[in-house]
Amino acid sequence: KIKNKIIISDKLYEKLKPSLTIIPYLNNIDTNKIQKVTSGLDSLILSKKLISIAKKKRLKKNKFHQINITLCFGGSDPKNYTYKIVKDLISLNLNFNFNIIIGSLYNKENERRLRNITYSLSNYKIYKNPKNLYSIFKQSKFAIINSGNIKYEFVSLGIPFLLFANDSKSKFFCRIFKNYFKFFHYKNFNYPKKKYLNTLLCSLIKIEKKLNFYAKSNKKRINFKSTENVVKHINNTII
CB atoms within 10 A of CB 227: 18
Q: How far is CA 110 from CA 2, 83, 120, 193, in A?
A: 44, 7, 17, 21
Average pLDDT score, the chain = 93
Is residue 60 very low, low, confident or very high in pLDDT (cuts 50, 70, 90)? Answer: low
Sign of CA dihedral 195, 115, 109, 144: negative
Q: Among 14-18, 63-67, 117-121, which range has the highest average pLDDT?
A: 117-121
Mean pLDDT of 72-76: 93
Where does the pLDDT of residue 64 fall: very low under 50, low under 70, confident under 90, or very high at 90 and above? very low
Confirm whether pTM is higher than 0.85.
yes
**Of 212, 175, 205, 206, nearest in space to 190 by CA:** 175
Strand, helix or coil for residue 124: strand
pLDDT category at 151 given cuts 50, 70, 90 is: very high
Half-sphere exposure of 11 (CA within 13 A, CB side): 5
pLDDT tens digits, one per residue of 179-210:
999 999 999 999 999 999 999 999 998 999 99
Dump pLDDT digits (tens) for 221-234.
Answer: 999 999 999 999 99
Provide the strand spans (E) within the chain.
6-8, 20-23, 37-39, 68-72, 97-102, 124-128, 142-146, 161-164
Percentage of the chain modeled with pLDDT above 90:
85
- DSSP 8-class letter at 184: B
* Residue-level pLDDT at 203: 96
**How many whole angstroms separate alpha carbon 234 and alpha carbon 239?**
9
Greatest alpha-carbon span in the chain: 63
Given a cut of 80, whether residue 46 has pLDDT beyond it is yes
CA pseudo-torsion sign 50, 72, 176, 205 = positive
Residue 39 has pLDDT above 50, yes or no: yes
Rounded mean pLDDT of 145-163?
A: 96
